[in-house]
Amino acid sequence: MNIKFPLWFYQLASPKWFYQISGQLLPWFSSAAFLLLLTGSVWGLVFAPADYQQGNSFRIIYIHVPASILAQSCYLLMAVAGAIGLIWKIKMAHIVAKCCAPIGASIAILSLATGAIWGKPTWGAWWVWDARLTAMLILFFLYLGVLALSSAFENQTSGDKAAAVLALVGLINIPIIKYSVEWWNTLHQPATFTVTKKPAMPPEMWLPLLVMVLGFYCFFAALLMARARIETLQRERKSDWVKAIIAAL
């Protein structure tokens, strides 16, 4: 398969180069995540107006919606990285895929927990077998499956391949999560953000939500780089450049 990628792609495929550039980017993403999450939280929890139907209970949207969006995006990244690792045998792709799994599982749990808290005053129950809720629960189990497969083999290469295959198979669950409210009669409301439609909420309510979404993504990027750097050092511990880093500590 003769596909030409931009130079930065090949640079990121190098463990040494990835370790260096991620070390430079990590403080910036960490700072951006802190500022965006702090701003969005104060804006949404203190200054945004209460919902005319749900009152102040709707404010959990500023955690639940970003977590739900990020849980799906993280899985897409994990599957794409796994596919790149399978097809082009790139070690860094498998490292990124492996590091996505625990982060995605944690974010999926946050989405499920905040959804249950929000569902109690809204639906009168902590949990209902709603199509989107069930699909999100399956997403969490897929993350656990990828984690388990990645660690189930003594040979890390075999574990990487098995985890990548499962991640690719599980991609079928992503459109189910996204379009479940359109395909079935569910309790969930339609999507809060869409590319083609104007947000249903007033600006003073959806703008802090947008800030929170951006903050969640920056936090994810920082956490992913931090985990990938550690995983890279563990896998490349016999390399001269890693030995030099360890010797300098």
pLDDT digit string, tens, across residues 30-55? 999 999 999 999 999 999 999 888 88
pTM over 0.85: yes
CB 133 within 8 A of CB 115: yes
- State mean pLDDT over 211-219: 98
DSSP for 41-61?
A: HHIIIIISPPBTTTBGGGGGH
With 60 as the cut, is the pLDDT of residue 143 above it?
yes
State the pLDDT confidence band at 235, using cuts at 50, 70 and 90.
Answer: very high
**How is residue 136 written in tokens?**
């999100």
Whole-number CA gyration radius for the chain: 20
* Lowest-confidence region among 130-139, 149-158, 237-246: 237-246
State the pLDDT confidence band at 183, using cuts at 50, 70 and 90.
Answer: confident
pLDDT of the residue at 249: 77
pLDDT of the residue at 98: 98
pLDDT of the residue at 229: 97
pLDDT of the residue at 2: 59
- State mean pLDDT over 66-77: 98
- Of 56, 32, 54, which is closest to residue 44 (Cα–Cα)? 56
- Of 7, 61, 21, which is closest to residue 211 (Cα–Cα)? 61
With 80 as the cut, is the pLDDT of residue 4 above it?
no
Q: Which residue has the higher pLDDT, 145 or 120?
A: 145
CB 218 within 8 A of CB 35: no
Distances 59 to 3, 34, 112 between C-alpha atoms, Å? 46, 19, 16
- Which of 58-72, 125-139, 197-211 holds the top average pLDDT? 58-72
- State mean pLDDT over 148-169: 96
CB 112 within 8 A of CB 136: yes
The count of residues in the chain is 249
pLDDT of the residue at 126: 87
**How is residue 50 written in tokens?**
């209460």
- Of 220, 209, 210, which is closest to residue 33 (Cα–Cα)? 220
User: Mean pLDDT in the chain?
Assistant: 91
